[in-house]
Structure 1
Amino acid sequence: MSLWFLLSLSVLQGVTELFPVSSLGHTLLVPALFGVHMDKHAPQLLPFLVALHLGTAIALLWYFRERWVALIRGFFGSLAGHKSDDGHMMWALIIGTIPAGLVGLVLEKRIETLFHDLRIVAAALMINGVLLWFGDRLQRARMHRAPEKLTFRQAFLVGLAQIGALVPGFSRSGLTMIAGNAAGLTTEKAAEFSFLLGTPIIFAAGLLELPKLFHARDQLMTAVVGGVLTGIAAWLSVRFLMRYFEGRGRLASFGVYCVIAGAICLGWFMLHQQPV
């Protein structure tokens, strides 16, 4: 894999990780469409992917840094018996993180078998688009309803939605935004909760593999550059998305894109041999 391919992959990861269009699906489909074979056993790939996750997580932490400071203060205040909205939100995030974390550890290897058939990935991307369209309809049907503070049960259910993103083609941010809308949040608040909820998962994914990054010292500089590019792309993406949803942006727009992109990819891989 060339340096230019890896750097392009880092920008693609930074954008699609936060847009509700499935970063894993795009990482698998886009290179294949251009005939680029991704060797999963290539020595530079794993440390590079570790850096991309860390770059995305750091971008999210920086963008929501004031929010995280308030949440952490609220959390420790709750331990001392002081109730607050920030403390409640922090516990909701902790509870929401548990389902995907546990299921990911148990089923990660089995789900990896889905990566080999890009037709399944393309079909999943189309289904993701349909879900985004329905989620948008749900939110618009509740526009006149005051947003609710998530209960712990609702936070757990939103966290369950993250499990779907373990299948390539389904978007973690998209599924959790839909679940947040179903719980009564506005699209803006659902997006914020989705990004806050995803930060520990993304950060943990990078930290767990961090030793492998330092073991591949000859690939360290490429990984660092890729991580920085991903971080910049992720920061710009979350900044755009928060403003987009503050302006009553619609999930349906991303849904239409996913259906069209998934259909094109599905048709292509039905007619052409997949890279091996």
Structure 2
Amino acid sequence: MDTIQAIMMGIIEGLTEFLPVSSTGHLILTGHLLGFTGSKAKTFEVVIQLGSILAVVVLYWKRFLSLFGLYHEKRDHKGLNLIHVIVACIPAVIMGALLHGAIKTYLFSPYTVVVGLVVGGILLIIADKKTKHTTDAGLDRLSYPQAFGIGLFQCLALWPGFSRSGATISGGVLMGASYKTAAEFSFIIAVPMMIGASGLDIIKSYSILSGSDFPVFLAGFLTAFIVAMLAIVFFLKLLNKLRLIPFAVYRFIIAVLFYLFILR
């Protein structure tokens, strides 16, 4: 893989990680078209995902510090705290630990990714149709039951192609949160979930990497970081106008491309 390909993959990752369109599906499709597959390709994808996660930490640094009591804002209510994040992460952590072997064995294939893209798109449509436009009460009005409910929906993202952000944003609006609040909470709970999963994958695959991989991996990491920051800001502005159905339609298009370029 050369630097140009790494930058292309970084752009795809940064654009899709926090949109409800499945970054996994896009990376598999892009990697296939670029001829970049195999164990090292999977490790590269993990590294650039960490670049996207860093973008959330930078954009929401005050919020993350406040979770640990290191930053205080004047509020007339308790606000979002670490318990919200923990209860939202517990379901997927437990399900992932129990079903890790089965997921790796049965769900990581192009066929299952296509199914995940389609079913995830259907969930977006259901959430959009079932939910009336809600007033943005903000993250600090999110309740513990809402956080836990979003966490249950996050379990759907264990299915490759389903999209973690698609599952959690859909779950958030179905639980009564506004589109913006659901999206921002999705971004925040992505940080511990993806750092844990990505860190473990990097440790396991460290032996297959060499010093010559560093410049290419760094190029992809930095590209994903910069693009993800821009994508998050743009997505939040776009979400209330477009809502979720256009993203569902886009997922169906990607599923068709998957079929044409990978499965045929």
TM beyond 0.5: yes
TM-score, normalisation: structure 2: 0.85
State the distance in 2 between where 1:249 and 1:89 align.
29
The match for 2:170 is 178
2:14 maps to 1:20: no
CA offsets 1:12-45 (integer angstroms, 9 cap, x no match): 112111110011122223333x3725112x4xx3
- CA RMSD, Structure 1 to Structure 2 (Å): 3.0
CA offsets 1:50-86 (integer angstroms, 9 cap, x no match): 421321111100011122223322899xxxxxx9523
Larger Rg over CA atoms: 1
State the distance in 1 between where 2:90 and 2:210 align.
31
- For structure 2, the 5+ residue unaligned runs are none
Contact 2:65–2:71 (Cα < 8 Å) also in 1: no
Which 4+ stretches in 1 moved above 4 angstroms?
144-148, 209-215, 267-270
Contact 1:119–1:269 (Cα < 8 Å) also in 2: no
2:220 maps to 1:226: yes
The match for 1:36 is 35
The match for 2:67 is 71
State the distance in 2 between where 1:195 and 1:108 align.
23
Distance 1:35 1:196, change over 3 A: closer
Match of 2:183 among 191, 198, 206: 191
State the distance in 2 between where 1:218 and 1:268 align.
31
Q: Which amino acid is 1:236 matched to?
A: L
Deviation larger for 114-123 or 52-61 = 114-123
Superposition map of 1:82-121 within 5 A: 84-86=77-79, 88-114=80-106, 117-121=109-113
Contact 2:154–2:164 (Cα < 8 Å) also in 1: yes
Contact 1:74–1:84 (Cα < 8 Å) also in 2: no
Q: Which amino acid is 2:31 matched to?
A: P
Distance 1:30 1:200, change over 3 A: same
Alpha-carbon distance, 1:93 to partner: 1.1
Superposition map of 1:1-276 within 5 A: 1-32=1-32, 34=33, 36=35, 38-40=37-39, 42=40, 45=41, 47-73=43-69, 84-86=77-79, 88-114=80-106, 117-139=109-131, 141-143=132-134, 149-211=141-203, 216-245=210-239, 247-267=240-260, 269=262, 272=264
Contact 1:138–1:182 (Cα < 8 Å) also in 2: yes
- For structure 1, the 5+ residue unaligned runs are 77-82
Q: What secondary structure, in the 3-state scheme, does the structure 2 residue paired with 1:85 have?
A: coil
State the distance in 2 between where 1:100 and 1:129 align.
20
Number of residue pairs aligned between Structure 1 and Structure 2: 260
State the distance in 1 between where 2:82 and 2:241 align.
26
Q: What secondary structure, in the 3-state scheme, does the structure 1 residue paired with 2:161 have?
A: coil
State the distance in 1 between where 2:48 and 2:116 align.
23
Identical residues among aligned pairs (%): 28
State the distance in 2 between where 1:207 and 1:119 align.
27
